[in-house]
Structure 1
Amino acid sequence: MPEIFSEYNFLVSIYSLLGLIALSFLVFFAAQQFPTFKEAYKANQIANKKMKEKSFYSPTVRNGILGSGIGYLVNYSLILPLTISVEFVSIWNVIFSVFIILMVYDFFYYLMHRFLFHGDIHFFKTVHAVHHQMKNPNRGDSSYLHWLEGTMGVLLFGFTVGGLSLIFGKFDLVSIVITMWLYQEINLHNHAIFETKTFPFKT
């Protein structure tokens, strides 16, 4: 049996979740001190509030969150407890871990998005087309998707971490927390309203 499977540690998975929550609040608070980010946050809140007034919106978002939740449940209960170590190695190890996880995940997500989400016409019409109903997305629209797509995206991230840990060994807690936050934030920002004339964020 590979060494990685010799110790299941659910507690370290909980630590990673708490770390993610703490980091998210910390970054949000820091970002709100800058007018550019504060204005962008308000713009997304206003746009999302308008969307919630439409009867079809909230049920679809709830389904998307449910699907993602299924993926997170699997990741935090089965995958992360086997792939996280509390032992901190070095800052260079953190940088490498964050980079390799996100790059490998993004590569496989591209393949899934290109050849399944858009390549299979039946899958596109029945699943992925839900997400494309949003023509002018805001941050909240990142969860406007079919529940299956939400599950698949989150599970792919978990499988990426699990697969890479078989090659490189367990990832340290700090690396996982930072990677999870970036994964979450990139997905949100990819749908965000962000219009500003302020350097260096001019759009």
Structure 2
Amino acid sequence: MPAFFSEYNIFVSIGSLAGLVALSLVVFYSMQLIPTFKEANIANLNANKKMREKSFYSPTVRNGMLGSGLGYLVNYFIILPLTITFEFTSVWNVLFSIFIILMVYDFFYYLMHRFLFHGDNHFFKTVHAVHHQMKNPSRGDSSYLHWLEGTMGVLLFGFTVGGLSLIFGKFDLVSIVITMWLYQEINLHNHAIFETDTFPFKTLHKISADHHRHHVNFNKGNYSSITLLYDWIFGTYETEETAPLKQL
């Protein structure tokens, strides 16, 4: 076996998946104790229920989830067993790992989203157009996409973790679990209906609204997934003035 694979550890990858599931469940059920989050969850479930009544919806969601699932299989069975470890170092290392993974991922996602899915390539524009059929998405619509886009997005995250591990060394299990949860939760919240815009929920409302601006039509910006920093840097940040949600 090549030396590169001598570090392969499927158990730490399985541990990261178990940790992600546990963290997701704990956070979700904890949030349901807060009326604002409970109301938002009901609103998203109701919106998704209406969409599932349409014949085209569920098959597309299944295909999107299958595509994402293919990406996760590669991540959990090939990339993560080589790039994460059970060894915990420090809280500061966890914070740095979370930051560097998400920001590097988001940079490359921005490029892929803007120049590939919204660029001049007709094939990839057609692929991404499936997702843009949702003009006013709800939380469940994050999986309404072409299977290829689902695969590419998840693999990009895995390749980011794998590439950065070659620079900084293996990431610890805690860092990966929290980072994976943030990666998934932010993507879900981007598409969510979250109408409360008063303190302390104003930022969460803005995050959701800004991504909904991207769905106003196919020619709007806000291409980033994790943060709109890169949209701000490269001049593609959309506001209420440039992409009013009242168009929906």
RMSD: 1.6
Q: Secondary structure at the match of 2:194?
A: coil
TM-superposed CA distance for 1:120, in Å, is 2.7
The alignment's TM-score, normalised by the length of structure 2, stands at 0.79
* Identity, % of aligned positions: 84
**DSSP 3-state at the match of 2:130:** helix
Q: Report how far residue 126 of structure 1 moved.
A: 2.2
Q: Which residue of 2 aligns with 1:53?
A: 53
Q: Give the drift of 1:6.
A: 3.2
State whether structure 2 residue 8 is matched by structure 1 residue 8. Answer: yes
- Unmatched 5+ stretches in structure 2: 206-248
Instruction: Flag the structure with more relative contact order, 1 or 2, with Cα contacts below 8 A and sequence separation at least 6.
Output: 1
Where in structure 2 are the equivalents of 1:124-163 lying within 5 Å? 124-163=124-163
The amino acid across from 2:199 in the alignment is F
Change in CA separation of 1:188 and 1:44 when aligned onto 2, cut-off 3 Å: same
Unpaired stretches in structure 1, ≥5 consecutive residues = none
Q: Shift in Å at residue 145 of structure 1?
A: 0.3
The SS at the match of 2:55 is coil
State the Cα distance separating 1:3 from its structure 2 match.
Answer: 7.7
Q: Which one-letter code corresponds to 1:153 in the other structure?
A: G
C-alpha deviation, 1:199, in angstroms: 2.1
Superposed CA offset, 1:136-190 (max 9, x none): 1001000000000000000000000000000000000000000000000011000
Shift, 1:200, TM fit: 1.5
Q: Which residue of 1 aligns with 2:199?
A: 199
Give the drift of 1:121.
3.9
Report the equivalent of 2:210.
none
How many aligned positions are there? 203
CA separation in 2, counterparts of 1:110 and 1:125? 15
- The equivalent residue for 2:78 is 78
Contact 1:16–1:177, Cα closer than 8 Å, also in 2: yes
Displacement after TM superposition at 1:196 (Å) = 1.4
* Deviating 4+ runs (over 3 angstroms): 2-6
Does the 8 A contact of 1:4 with 1:169 survive in 2?
no
CA distance, structure 2, for counterparts of residue 72 and residue 131 of structure 1: 19
- Structure with higher helix content: 1
